[in-house]
Structure formats: C-alpha cells, structure tokens
A and B are shown apart, each in its own frame.
Chain A
Amino acid sequence: MMAGHAEKLKKFPGFLTVTIGCLVLLYAPMIVISVYSFNATRSITKWGGFSLGWYAKVFANPEIQRATVNSLVIAVSASTLATLLALLAAIAMVRGRAFRGQEGVYVLINLPLLVPEIISAVGSLIFFLAIGISLGLMTVMIAHTIFCIPFAYLPISARLQGIEDHYEQAARDLYANAWQSFRYVLAPMMLPGIVSGYMLAFIISLDDFIITNMVAGPGATTLPLAIYGMVRIGFTPEINAISTLMLLASLVVVTLSYLIGRTKRN
C-alpha cells in the first residue's frame, strides 16, 4: 500500500510526454533523413519508391572515396596515438601515488574539452602557420590527436580505477617484472577500457568538422568537409545517403564501445 503510494507520488503529469518529446526531437531528424536516403526520386517531398540508387552514386563518387580514405587514415592514426598517450597518463594518474599539482594535470589533460572548439580551431591554424608546418593531413592528425586524448582518457582511467592493485602485487610477488605484470596482468584487465576509449577517440576524430575545417590544407578533405561542401551547393539525395552511412557508423561504434566498456571484469 505505502509503496504503491510512493510510486504514485513519483509520477508527475506531463513528464512522460516531455520525455517522449525529448526522444522524438533527438531521433526524428536522423530517422527522417535516413528514410529519405532510400527515396527513388530526386524530389525531397514525394516518396517515389524504395531505391539504393543514391548509395550507388555515393560509392562511385571519387571525391567521396578520397575523403573516406583521408578520414580513415586520420582517425586511425590520431586515435591510436591519443589512446597511447592517454593510457600512459591514466596509469600515472590512477596507479601512481597522489602528488602535488595532480588536479592541475587532470585539468590539462581535459583542457581540449573545456576550450570552445572554434577557439582551438583558429588557434591551431595560426600556430601551425607561425611555426612553419604547412597545412595538410599532418596538421589534421596532430590537431585530432590533441582533442582525442581526453575522450580516450576518460574510459581508460574509469576502468583502471575499478581494478584493485592486488593483482599486480601478486604478479610482482611471483617474480614478474614491471613490464610482465603490465603485459600479462593489468593490460588484459584494462582492455575493455582501452578499446572503449580507442573507439570513442576514433569516432570523435571521424566526426570532427570545426577544427578540421581550419587546419586541413588542400588535399586533406575529410568526409565531414566533403559533406559540408555538398550542403553548401544545395540539398541532394546523395547527402542523405552519405549522412545515413555516417550516422550508422557512429551508432555501431558507440554502441559497441558502450557494451565493451560495460563488460564485467573477472
């Protein structure tokens, strides 16, 4: 009886409606654009039957092909480097003893999240030009590595915090050296966190537009830059198709990252 009443108290009129509205707002535009990517006609408003024609056009477009290769090369290298840097930093921050100025180091590692992206973007542009690195794939990779570090760091350090250090101590007691206890004991236990962090960094790099737009020189066009260029000219169904593909890529990677990051440690 009393529990039933408490349950009733938790129900506020309209809250369910707002929640549904919130989900509709978050998902409806993505769903609509995906549905229209299968529209056979060029018309945006009329449904002309199901077709994969726009996808065929996207895959045959040489500019999109080049942009995809650029995006993947940048995302793989930036997220690999960022994950390595974040892993080292996480071990020092979580496993090492507390030290003076640790909070400052924490803020520094997360600084790329705190600075508005447009400021990092124009800052990187003038910085690269001032120190004489010409804009291109290299500058995009460097910039992406920097802002991927906190995204890789958060899941890795969260995972590490959940692993007690008895395991490494036991390994050391059994005459494992520092590298062996890391390689055979800690690393396998941390792996879900590392994979999760790597995937988040990967997707963040793949999706970035603002910073890439500023520091990509000619020939370093990535997928978001290509899509932006297409939208600027006018809406075409190809944009719907390529957007749907990128939506799908993000959904798959993020869901996987979430599931892997949540796997139970044994």
Chain B
Amino acid sequence: MAGGINLQTNWSTKASNSISGKQFLQLFPAMAAISFFLIGPLTFILIYSFLTPGTYGGVEWQFSTESYLQFLFERDLITDELIFENAYLLVFLRSLVLALIATISCLLIGFPTAFFIATRSEHNRNMWVLLITVPYWVNLLIRTVSMLFILRDEGPINAALIGTGIISEPIHMAYTNFAIGMGLIYSYLPFMVLPVYASLERFDFRLMKAAYDLYAGRWSILLRVILPVVKPGLIAGSLLVFIPCLGAFIAPDILGGGKKLMIGNLIAMQFQASRNWPFGSAAAMILLTIVLIALTVAARQPRPGKEVA
C-alpha cells in the first residue's frame, strides 16, 4: 500500500496559527465532500442501530436497543424472555480467529520476505518492493476469484495431485475456512511486507556485526537486536492486515461460498436479503468500535521516524 494508512505526519502538532482564509477555501471542497458523504453515512449507521426494523426493510423511528441485544439473545415469541443464542457470536468469533490466523501467517511470511528485500542492493530493493506492491493494486475480487479457481475440486492443484497419482479423490479446499484463510492471507500480505520493510530499511546492519563481535549467535541477534528495532513495523503491518481481514467481505463470500459467514457478510446480508437495517447497523457499529480500538492502540505506539530524525 503505497503510503496507505499512515497516521504519521511531518508537521508540528503544536502549531498555534489558525487556518488562513485561503487554506480554508482550498481545503473546503475535500473536507465538505468527505464530511457529508462519509461522516454523514457513519452517523446514519449509529442512529439506525438504535431504531426498530421496518416490516418491509427500512426503519421505524422508534428507539430500541433490541438490535444490540440480538447479538447474544433471542426473544422468546410467547414469554418474551431473552434466551442466550450464540449464532451471531460465532460469526464474530470466526472473524476474529480467521483474522488472527491470517495476521500471524502474514507475519511469518512477511518478516523473512521484508528482511530479504532490505538486505538487497539499493537498486534491487526498489524492484522487489514494486513486485510486492503491484498485487495490492490488482482488483481484489479478481484475485479472490483466481484463488477460488486454483483451489476448486477441478482446479489445477487437485488436477496435478490426481494426475501424478498422489491422491485419487480431490481434496475439498474451496468453500472451507481454509480457503477463506488463504484468501485473506493472499489479499493482505503486501500490507505486512511493506511496513516491516520500511522499518528494516532504516536498520543499521552494522549493529549485527557489533552483536556478533560480542558473541551473540545468529538467532539471538535476530531476537534481541533486530526484532526490537522493527517492532513498530511489525505492529503497523499486523494492524494493516488484521483490520481489513476482520471486516472482509469478498474472501468469505467467494471462497466460503456464502456458508461460512464473517462479520462483513453478516452486515451486508442485513441490507440485502434479510432486510434488518437496525441489526446490520448495530453489527457495523460493533465492527467500527473494534477497529477504532485497534487504531487507537496503533496511534499510541512510539513513532519510528522520530528518533532517526
């Protein structure tokens, strides 16, 4: 993600000037557009999550916390009692677990890759970074479809395994949690490699030699010298993978075949087939809250650029 989500800024936060008229006029169109067409929708989600669902979709303007209760409970039609119901909780748990697995896998693949790139010559590094960046800009839907294509029962992986006689029946990979996980890793792997690479690029590799001279072994250099330095990159990369995985829609929809729901699918369904807007809005609010918590944690991390400058 060239630039991507970057909360770092290069101006002082202590500026005491107020905005000039000219600056305001220049900033106004973009700020007004985003405020109206993005903050507006977010506000509507918040409001709708506390309303009552309309009979034929839409909402009725009557305050209710039912949508939030619906996550954990089902209301008994006769006695009106709340009965614990874990179906939606399971959707959230599946999302959390899959997002976590994808993040850890991306860490395990992304760190060695970033390290390898950072130790190339300066000219080659740019080429490697471009190679890692390009897939991010390629259509996510099409990338996911191509992942489904190779995982299918009739796909090339199974065809090759059957052709060489290793297996006689195709291994069912498509439409499983495994497929969703693969899709998530595949979708967001560049988000891990790039920030980790950015922090490794600033690493002074002479420190490795210094540690070696002080009798540190190769792996203890990795653990005690390199990892502490790239920690901010690892945290940034993990968030950049974890957050979009948590709200993923395309991977579970295409690769899970609509059977293994994640939060993203649950939300989308409420505005399409199920037509329960307040419940969908409440689910969106819960997802947004988790994301905000994650971002706040990220923003509190020490900024890696500061001590270098």
Query: What residues of chain A have their CB less than 8 Å away from a CB belonging to chain B?
Result: 2, 5-6, 9-12, 14-16, 18-19, 21-23, 25-30, 32-33, 36, 44-45, 84-86, 88-89, 91-93, 96-103, 105-127, 129-131, 142-143, 145-146, 149, 153-155, 158, 161, 200, 203-204, 206-207, 209-210, 213-214, 224, 227-228, 231, 235, 239-240, 243, 246-247, 250-251, 253-255, 258
A100→B14 CA distance, assembly (Å): 7
- The total of Cβ contacts below 8 Å across the A-B interface reads 300
Question: Given contacts A86-B30, A258-B130, is CB(A25)–CB(B37) below 8 Å?
Answer: no
A118 near B264: Cβ-Cβ < 8 Å: yes
Nearest CB in chain A to that of B222: its residue: A12
Please, what's the 1-or-0 string for B1-42, where 1 marks a CB less than 8 Å from any CB in chain A? 011111101111101111110111011011101110111111
Taking Cβ atoms with an 8 Å cutoff, the residues of B that contact A are: 2-7, 9-13, 15-20, 22-24, 26-27, 29-31, 33-35, 37-42, 44-45, 48, 58, 108-110, 112-113, 115-117, 119, 130-135, 137-143, 145-150, 152, 154-156, 159, 185-186, 189-190, 193, 205-206, 208-209, 212, 218, 221-222, 243-244, 246-247, 249-250, 254, 263-264, 267-268, 270-271, 277, 280-281, 284, 287-288, 291, 295
**B interface: dominant SS:** helix
Q: Is the CB of A27 within 8 A of B271?
A: no
Interface residues of A: mostly helix, strand, loop or mixed? helix
A123 touches B193 (CB 8 A): no
Which of chain B's residues have a CB closer than 8 A to the CB of A85? 29-30, 33
Asked if residues A127 and B146 are in contact (CB atoms below 8 Å), the reply is: no
Cβ–Cβ < 8 Å partners of A207 in chain B: 137-142
- Additional A-B contacts beyond A5-B212, A214-B271 (12; CB < 8 A): A6-B206, A10-B208, A99-B18, A99-B20, A103-B11, A115-B288, A121-B268, A123-B44, A126-B41, A146-B37, A206-B139, A235-B152
17 A–B contacts, CB within 8 A, in A order: A12-B115, A15-B113, A18-B116, A22-B132, A26-B190, A33-B146, A98-B17, A101-B19, A103-B13, A112-B38, A115-B42, A117-B249, A119-B42, A122-B280, A127-B37, A210-B250, A258-B130
CB–CB A142/B156 < 8 A: no
Asked if A118 and B268 sit within 8 Å, CB to CB, the answer is yes
Known contacts A123-B42, A161-B10: A26-B2 contact under CB 8 Å: no
Which chain A residues lie closer than 8 Å to B10 at the CB level? Answer: 161
